[in-house]
A and B are shown apart, each in its own frame.
Chain A
Amino acid sequence: MVSTRYAARSVGRNLRRTVLSIVGVAIGCLLALFMESLNRGRGELFARAGSASGLGHVRVVPAGWRGRRDPRLRLADWRADLAAAQAMSGVASVTARARAQVLLAVGTHVVPVELTGVQPDIEPRTFRYVQTIGRGRYLRADDGGALVAGRAIADRLSADLDDEIVATTVGPGGEIQSALFRLVGIVSTGSDDTDLAVCQVVLEDLQRLTGFAGAGEVSIVLNDYREIDRVRARLAGSVAAADEVMTLSELAPDIEGHFKQDAAMTRFVSGIILLIVLLGVASAQLAAVLERRREFAVLAALGMNGPRMVWLIVQEALMLGGGGAVLAVAAGVPLVWKLARSGLDFSRYLGGTYAFQGVLFDPVIYGDFGWWIVVYVSAVAMGATILASLYPAWYAARTDPAVALRVAQ
């Protein structure tokens, strides 16, 4: 097509302007890419941190739990739910738990906690905080009467290893029930908030203490967090009829909201950067159109209509966008790869770890790296340059050949 050749050669008429436009587009795309990679990395961080904090990627909960979040509620058939979850593909680990609000007491020291009954042989795979015990040891399957607690709880109770702790709670009929546990391990997460969330006994001990049989949740960690929706949909059809399946986002809406807010802010900043780039490109293109006003007048005189003229300018913009995209991909791939490998370390500002809503987060955010980079950069570069070309194209299409030729003469 001659018109495409014409557009291509027109782009090359003022090489300096073209190169500057391409570099501008590439820089804008690169910044947007960097931020998008971090945004996607944040999503992965949320999924990783959330699942490792015991929330799980997906969780089976009793009917009514979604609204009340009452730890006394129990699954209709936790063994069937557990088996259904274990049978799913893409599942890394599955565990059952039960929870209860209890008062722990040692001598005159009393601390209200959420006590969790767990399956000790599986729990560390779904709850990262108990993988490393600061002092003592973790629970065993046959560990009747043993308790593991976070350092902050132990400190508040002034308890040490092998101390006996009284746990008191309210039974199904409203009666006060107590049991004696021995502190066998102290977990130190580095954060008081998260330490306070760690207080575990063997599942059967919790059932005996509370008088509530069964489990209150089946927590599932997946191999790939991007499978959450698929697993949730499939699992919903195989769990006990009265039970329901929730995702990490539903379990921790505050955390997800916080991440979404961060992502929106980042995208807003990306948008501002792209807008500035877009205005720069629009200005350069408008200058190019003004320089060729006589040429457009002649083309209009020859019968080129407005839409064709718009397409001509848009083609030129697409070529600039293409050049910018190639440059941005060339520079962006190693940059994002490095970001995905080494991450962006915020520990200088946040310390070793930081906790939000009882969930521990790494201070290192890793970018996401994948084929999406090419698609994203191409879409941003092309989209931005097409938008930038619309006003110059409209201006060119409005050229009145008689007026423009008269002025040129």
Chain B
Amino acid sequence: MRARGVTKTFASGRQEVWALRGVDLDVRAGEFLALVGPSGSGKTTLLNLIGALDVPTAGELLVLGRPIAALSKHERAHLRLQSLGFVFQAYNLVPVLTARENVEFVLELQGAGLDRRARAQEVLAELGLADLTDRRINELSGGQQQRVAVARAVAARPAIVLADEPTANLDGENAETLMHLMRDLRDRHGMTFIFSTHDPRVVAHAVRIVTLVDGRVARDERTGGEPPHTILPAATVQAVGA
């Protein structure tokens, strides 16, 4: 991902609100990057732009080599479907579907074949949810729901996974588990993870921390090495998440 002078403004009545003021940023494949900063600093806006949910007002933004501003709505939807995964703060799972169906739905949208059910099952098992695949969303705890959301985001093996405050609604233990799982997925599948957060425990897992202040990159630092990370066996994950 490459951003040069990326600006984003929103109209608020007659006023123009500046969400991003010339962001320059490069993200390489396989990075585990945390976007931090105070509320209103532009973290979610930048995630939305990288996720092709929105287009920049000015500047150049290339995601997987595609200029976001030049893509049509349909092309951006296609890019999201094929190459990007999303994890939302409020999980945003489809409540009338089961855990497996939520994951399978994305694969179906992608046009996956008849093996999509097995693939969904496999991803859920990878995230320690093998026994909960047929549960409706409202029968799962917050931690389990967020893991289903992660499963949905990574099921199609996207190049980039974007997570907006993924641990905001989770307690410390579940937040820790989720970060381990995301690191584990990155290590196994080489996906790039970009997530926004306020949580210092989450930040501690990041390999790179980009701090936004008033819509600008105030600091861009590498943590100087991978933080301690243990790949958890599925049974342990399930026990923690339940």
Contacts and interface: CB of A to CB of B under 8 A. Distances in A.
Given A2-B104, A6-B97, A303 B81 contact: yes
Given A6-B105, A308-B109, A402-B48, A302 B152 contact: yes
Interface size class of A (residues with CB under 8 A): 20 to 34
Nearest to A11: B96
A68 interface: no
Interface of A is mostly: helix
Given A5-B97, A303-B77, A305-B77, A298 B109 contact: no
Nearest to A7: B96
Interface string B72-96: 0110011111101010111010101
Nearest to A309: B77
Interface in A266-309: 294-295, 298-306, 308
A3 B109 CA distance: 9
B110 to A, nearest CB: 8
Contacts of B73: 306
Given A3-B108, A6-B96, A302 B80 contact: yes
A300 to B, nearest CB: 7
A300 B92 CA distance: 12
A247 interface: no
A302 B101 contact: no
Contacts of B82: 303
Interface residues of B, number: 30
Given A5-B101, A295-B94, A298-B92, A304 B48 contact: no
Contacts of B53: 301, 401-402, 405
A2 B105 contact: yes
Secondary structure dominating the interface of B: helix
B13 to A, nearest CB: 15
A401 B89 CA distance: 15
Given A9-B97, A302-B152, A3 B51 contact: no
A348 interface: no
B81 A302 contact: yes
Given A6-B101, A402-B48, A402-B53, A302 B86 contact: yes
Nearest to B97: A6
15 contacts: A2-B101, A2-B108, A3-B105, A3-B109, A5-B97, A6-B105, A9-B97, A298-B94, A299-B94, A303-B82, A304-B77, A306-B73, A308-B109, A405-B53, A409-B90
Interface of A: 1-3, 5-6, 9-10, 12-13, 294-295, 298-306, 308, 401-402, 405-406, 408-409
Given A2-B108, A9-B96, 4 more contacts: A2-B105, A6-B96, A303-B110, A304-B109
